[in-house]
Amino acid sequence: MSTDVILGFAVAGTFVLYALFGGADFGGGVWDLLASGPRKAEQRALIARAIGPVWEVNHIWLIVGMVLLFAGFPRAFAVLSVALHVPLTLLLLGIVFRGAAFTFRAYDTRGDAVQRRWGLVFSGASVFAPLLLGMCVGAVVGGTVRVEGRVVTSGFFASWLTPFAWAVGALALCLFAFLAAVYLTHEAPSTALREDFRRRALGSGVAVFLSALAVLLLARDGAPRVWEGLLRSPFALALHVGTAVAAVASFGLLWTRRFRWARVAAALQAGLIVLGWAASQHPYLVVPDVTLQSAAASPGAQRLLLVALGVGTAIVVPSLVLLFRVFRPVLSSSAVGVGSRT
Amino acid sequence: MTDLLYARAQMGLSLAFHIVFAAAGVALPVLMVLSDWKARRTGDADYVKLSQKLAKGTAILFAVGAVSGTVLSFELGLLWPEFMGQYGEVIGLPFSLEGVAFFTEAIFLGIYLYGRERVSPGLHLVSGVMVAVSGAASAFFVTLVNTFMNHPSGFTLSATGPVDVQPLVAMFSPGWQYQTAHVLLSCYQASAFAMAGIHAFVLLRHPGAAFHKKALSVALPLACVTALLQPVVGDLSAKHVAKAQPVKLAAMEGQFETERGAPLRLGGLPNVETGEVPYALDIPKGLSILAFADPDAEVKGLNAFPRDEWPPVGKVHVAFQVMVGTGSAMALLALASLVWRWRKKAWPHGRRWLWAWLLSGPLGVVAMEAGWLVTEWGRQPWILRGVMRTADAVTPVPHLAAPFWTFTAVYLFLGVTVVLLLVRQVAGTLPGRAGDALEGAAHVH
C-alpha cells in the first residue's frame, strides 16, 4: 500500500476518533442546553463531571487531523483553508467560547446567575460548532468546492451553504447528541438519571435516522459522487450495511436497557458513519478536484510522518487508556466523591 | 489597512495572546510539582494548598492555551494558505511531534487535576512530572518551526515550490539549539517572575502571611536561575543571528552603515531616512565585541542589503531594546537576591526587596513578548526568509478586517476574564478570608 493511502486512512481514523470523543463532548453540551424536568441540575452536573477531565484531550483529535492533513496533504489543506475560511473561522469561535466558558463555569464561583451565563455560552457553542463542522464536511463531499490549478474558484460562501451541507450539519449535530446521551446512560449514578438519558438517546437516535435519510435524499442532486459511491462501491456498501446493523443493535440494546453494550453499538454506528463518508469520497480529498495523490507530500516526507505517527501512537494510546481507566464511572460512589476537584 | 496587514495583525495578536498561556502551561506545572514535592517532604499544609492553587491556575491557563492553540493551528492555513500548501510537508514533522507532546500534556494534566483522590500519590506526582516534561517538549518542537522560518533548510527550491524535501534537516535548521533554549528559559522566567510578583504584592499588604512567604520561596529560585542564564543564552543566540541573519542584527542594533569596530547603541529611535539613531547611548566597539568577540570585527549595516528586504527597523530596534533592558533588570535583581540568599541563608523578605520583586513581576512577560516581536518583525518582509515573502503567502479571502476585529474582541474578553478569575484565586488565600468556603463552592460543579 502506498504511503498516501495509509495516511489517508490515518486522517479518516482521526476523524472517527474525533467524532467518538470530541463529538460526544459536543453532545454533552447539547444536553446541557436541553436539560429539563425535575432532575435538571443533576443532569448538568453529570455532564460536567463526565466531560471535566477529558474535554481538552477529546478535542486534540481535531488538531491531530489538521496536522496530518497539512503535513501529509499540504495542497488539500491550503484549498480547504481558502474555500472554507468563513465556516472554519466560525467553528473556531465556537470552539474557543465552548472551552473557555466550560472552564470559567467551573472556576467562576460567584453564584448561580454567573454560572448559568457561562453555561449558556458553553451549551450554545456546543450546538453551533457541530453544525458548522458538518457543513464543512458537506462542502468537501458535495463537490461544490472547485479548484483550478492552485486557485479556489467557487467563492467563499456558496460551497457550504447548500441544502446538502445543511443536512450534513444537522446529521453531525444529531449524531453527537445521540452519542453523548448513550454514553451518559452508562455513566449516570442513579436509575432516574439513567432513564432521563435513555429517553434522550432514543429520541436523538430517531433524529439521527431522519437526518441521515435527508442527507441521502439530498445526496442524489447535492453530492452525486457520494450517491454513486454509496451504490456502486462494494466496500462502501458493506460499511453502510454495517452501520445499519449497528444502528438497529444500539436501539435494541437501549430499549432493553443493556447500557454498557448500547454504548459500544452506538460508538460503532457513529464510527462506521464517518468511515462510510470517507469511503464514499475515496480517492478524493476534496471532491472533485483534489485527490489523495494530487495533494500528497513527497513520499519521503510522508514516510517520516508515518514514523512520527507511530511514535505518537505508542506514547498517546497507553496514556489515554490510563486516563479513561482513572475516570471510569464508579456507579456505587456518591456524586460528591466522583466530582471533587482539586 | 490592507488585507495583508490585517492578516499579519490577526496572526500576531493570536500568537501574542497564546504565548502567555503557552508559557504558563510550560512553567506552572514545574512550580506545581515543586510545591507538591515540598508538601510531600515536609507535610506542610501550606505547600499542599499552594500546589492546589497552582493546579487551579494551571487548569484555567491551560484551557485558554488549548483553545487559542487550536485557533493557531487553523490560522496557519486560514491566513497563510500558500505557505502551508507549499511548505507544510517540509515542516510537518515538528508540528506533528508538537501535537504528540500536547496530547500527552493534556492527558496527564487531566489525571493530575481531577485524579488527586483517584490515583496513588506516586502516580499523581508522576503525572505532574509528565505534564511538565511534555509541556517543555511541545514548546521545543514548535520553536523548531520558527527556527525553520528564520533559516529555511532541508529542501531545494524549484519554480513550483520545494523539491528534494528532507524534513529531518528542516526540523533542525541552523540555530535551533539557541532559539529553543532561549524560548524555554523565557517560559520559566516569565512565569516565575509573575508568580513572585503576585506573592510579593500580597506580602506587602499582609506581611505575616506564611503561605505567601512559602509561595515566594518556591518562585524565587526558578526566577533567579533563569534570569541569570537567559543573558548567556541570549548572547549565544545574538551571535548566531549576527552570522546567519545579518540584516536582522542590523535592524536590532540600528546599524545602517557597514563598519569595523561598530558601537553598541543603547536606546534611541532609528530614522530610516537619515540613517541615524538619535537619542541612543553609544558604547564604542560594543557591538563588534558582543556579536563577534572582536573589537574590530566588521558588522554589516542595513545599507548592504536591498531596501525592499529591510525589516521595519524602528520597531525591531525598540522591541530589542525593551527585551534587553527588561532582561538586564531581571538579571540584576536575581543576582542581588542570590547574593543575599547566600550570605543570610534566607530569601530576602524586606519591604524594599518585595517592592523590587513586585515591580519586576510583569517584566518576564514583557521581555518574552518583546523578544518574539524582534524575531517576527526582524524576519519581515519574509514569511520564510529569503524564500517566500509574507505578501505572497497571504490568503486571497477578502475583508480580513472582520475576523481581525472579531478575534481582537474575543481575546480581550478572555484575557480580562482570566485575570479576574486568577485574582479571585489569589484573594481566596488572603489571611482572614474564607478561602475554604470559596473552594467548597467549586466542588459543586
The stretch B2-25 carries a mean pLDDT of 93
At A334, the pLDDT band (50, 70, 90 cuts) reads very low
In this predicted structure, which of A55-59, B47-51, B304-308, B397-401 has the lowest mean pLDDT? A55-59
**Chain A nearest-CA residue for B82:** A78
Mind listing the pLDDT tens digit for each residue in B127-154? Answer: 999 999 999 999 999 999 999 999 999 9
Residue A259 sits at the chain B interface (C-beta within 8 Å)? no
Q: Name the residue among A103, A298, A336 with its Cβ closest to that of B165.
A: A298
A331 pLDDT band (50/70/90 cuts)?
low
Taken in order B343, B349, B351, B352, is the CA torsion positive or negative? positive
What value does the mean pLDDT take over residues B77-84? Answer: 93
Q: Cβ of A53 and B90 within 8 Å?
A: no
Q: pLDDT tens digit string along B304-347?
A: 999 999 999 999 999 999 999 999 999 999 999 999 999 998 88
What is the pLDDT, as a whole number, of residue A341? 37
Cell output for B286: 560594543
Q: What is the ipTM for the molecules in this complex?
A: 0.89
Enumerate residues 197 to 256 of chain A having a beta carbon within 8 A of any beta carbon in chain B: none
pTM of the model: 0.92
- Residue A131 has a CB neighbour count (10 Å cut-off) of 21
Indicate whether A292 pLDDT > 50.
yes
- pLDDT, residue B194, reads 96
Give A 291-310 residues with CB within 8 A of chain B.
297-298, 300-302, 304-305, 308-309
H/E/C letters for each residue in chain A? CCHHHHHHHHHHHHHHHHHHHHHHHHHHHHHHHCCCCCCHHHHHHHHHHHHCCCHHHHHHHHHHHHHHHHHHCHHHHHHHHHHCHHHHHHHHHHHHHHHHHHHHHHHCCCCHHHHHHHHHHHHHHHHHHHHHHHHHHHHHHHCCCCEECCEECCCCCHHHCCHHHHHHHHHHHHHHHHHHHHHHHHHCCCHHHHHHHHHHHHHHHHHHHHHHHHHHHHHHHHCHHHHHHHHHCHHHHHHHHHHHHHHHHHHHHHHCCCHHHHHHHHHHHHHHHHHHHHHHHCCEEECCCEEHHHHCCCHHHHHHHHHHHHHHHHHHHHHHHHHHHHCCCCCCCCHHHHHCCC
Question: How high is the pLDDT of residue A332?
Answer: 44
B24 interaction partners in chain A (CB closer than 8 Å)? none
Task: Delimit the domains of chain A by residue range.
Answer: 3-326
**Confidence category of residue B256, pLDDT binned at 50, 70, 90:** very high
pLDDT digits (tens, 9 = 90+) for A11-31: 999 999 999 999 999 999 999
Rounded average pLDDT over A246-263: 94
What is the rounded distance in angstroms from the CA atom of residue B138 to the CA atom of residue B184?
10
**B136 min Cα distance to partner chain A (Å):** 16
**CB within 8 Å: A89 and B421:** no
Share of chain A above pLDDT 70, in %: 96
pLDDT tens-digit readout, B341-369: 999 988 888 899 999 999 999 999 999 99
Q: Three-state secondary structure along B181-213? A: HHHHHHHHHHHHHHHHHHHHHHHHHCCCCHHHH
Range A309-336 average pLDDT: 79
For position B433, what pLDDT does the model report? 57
Report for A55-59, A148-152, A277-281, B393-397: range of highest mean pLDDT: B393-397
Smallest CA–CA distance from B116 into chain A, residue: A342
Q: Which residue has the higher pLDDT, B65 or A334?
A: B65
A38 has a chain B CB within 8 A of its CB: no
Is A324 an 8 Å CB contact of chain B? no
Over range A266-277, report the average pLDDT.
92
Q: How far is B140 from chain A (nearest CA, A)?
A: 16
What tens digit of pLDDT does each residue of B18-45 get?
999 999 989 999 999 999 899 888 888 8
Instruction: For residue range A110-146, list pLDDT tens digits in order.
Output: 777 888 899 999 999 999 999 999 999 999 988 889 9
Q: Which of B97, B107, B406 sits opposite A57 (nearest CB)?
A: B107
Residue B429 has which C-alpha cell? 488565600
- B410, A96: Cβ pair inside 8 Å? yes
